[in-house]
Amino acid sequence: MRFIAIKILNVISRKIIARHNPVIIGITGSVGKSSARKAIYEIFKTKYSVACNKSVYHSDISIPLAIIGEKSGGRSVLKWFFVVFRAMKILFGYEKYPEILILEMDVNRPGDMKKILKVAKPNIAIFTGVGKYPSHLEYFKDARQIAKEKSLLIKALGKKDIAILNYDDEYARELAKGAKSEVITYGFDPKSMFIAEEIFLGDRKWRIEDGSIGMGFKVSQNGTTVPFRLPYALGRAQIYAALASCAVGSLFGFNLLEISEILSKYQPLAGRMKLIKGINKSLIIDDTFNANPNSMLVALESLGKLDASRRIAVLGDMLELGEYSDEGHSEVGKKIPKTADILFTYGAMSKIISEKANTFGMNANKISHFDKIDDLVKELKDTAKEHDVILIKGSRSMHMEEIVKAIMEKPELADELLVK
């Protein structure tokens, strides 16, 4: 039933786009797509009728479901029937359709982006970056091949369309040179059009203010500089998300002051550097949605800059790295001594992280490796103390959110705060 429903929904989705003609903002990349989608949605919902992916499934169903505004029917024939029924209602105008669609256009295998573009071609496309160790490498030869697949989104744009590129990413800079569309750039690089600077991510300046913890930075564009404050988020990925929202928002008349005010209430998605109060008055950085070496290194960079009694890294295996698995885990291990005081690892591959951390200077008695998640949780509960900051991160299949739930101050809020 799922296969049949996908075929039907792809056809109906194309017809829905043709009939209602919304502005489509497509987002691709290997890091920060979901955070960018969330930040952009928060901006646009203040003035426009807007919709975005409710969840990101495999690419053959994610886009049609986002266009229809539904979740997957799973294994239920009845649920799939109602998804198709709602799609028909939208197609024939029985429901008001959004003015703007924000679509996270992810790929898992070669050929996925062409399939997506047959259903929905964007007017505005955002390339968040690929990095050295992207996910899904088991289906691609290397990072460049993944970048080539994702770059099809930018190459599909026409002269009247707009590409928004993370200028800090080498593949994005290459795309900027050959783009047919108008190009807007963002990043930390001073050559970008929207520039982040004066980051108060750490440097001993993070603190609790009215019960919230977060970071500040400034965004500059065409000589105008505006301070931004994200009270509930940490990390470079969240700054990139804010920059992407500035770039897109500027096209629709939002100024930097407006965007700064809207994002001051921004809550990151579950599992993306989300701040949660932990047991014994500790602080959890929940980054459990997924992991690759790029995002792991960025998360550790944030941890390393925080002023805490102790910085504890709890890291699980990074999957889908193919032949780069050993190298990727090794690179993370090398970073640990400079960013964490205590290391817990979980899973077969993460043992490489522990070994490298020890090799590069971390004392062996500060490192613990676990094959069972229950054993890790027990030890972590005994270890966590007041003013400790605990980063928890690993690939989705490692279920690292179970560790977060076990050491939350209020585990009854798990359904609201954690990845499901």
- pLDDT (tens digit per residue) in 294-346: 899 989 998 998 878 899 999 999 998 888 899 999 999 999 999 999 999 99
Q: β-strand 208-209 against 212-213: which pairing, if any?
A: antiparallel
- Where exactly are the structural domains of the chain? 2-263, 274-417
Number of other CB atoms surrounding residue 77 within 10 Å: 12
Cβ 25 vs Cβ 105: under 8 Å: no
How many Å apart are CA 44 and CA 246, to the nearest integer? 11
Number of other CB atoms surrounding residue 215 within 10 Å: 25
Tell me the pTM. 0.89
139 phi and psi angles, rounded to 5 deg:
-105, -5
Q: β-strand 182-187 against 215-221: which pairing, if any?
A: unpaired
Percentage of the chain beyond pLDDT 70 is 94
Res 354 pLDDT > 90: yes
| Helical spans, DSSP H, in 52-160 | 59-68, 77-91, 112-119, 143-155
Q: What is the fold, at CATH topology level, of the domain defined by 274-417?
A: Protein-Tyrosine Phosphatase; Chain A (3.90.190)
- Least confident range from 57-71, 354-368, 395-409: namely 57-71
Range 2-263: architecture per CATH: 3-Layer(aba) Sandwich (3.40)
Q: Which two tokens stand for residue 304?
A: 């390393």
How many Å apart are CA 368 and CA 90, to the nearest integer? 54
The identity of residue 313, as a single letter, is A
The tally of CA atoms less than 13 A away on the side-chain side of residue 278 is 26
- pLDDT (tens digit per residue) in 87-140: 999 999 999 999 999 999 988 889 999 999 999 999 999 999 987 766 666 778
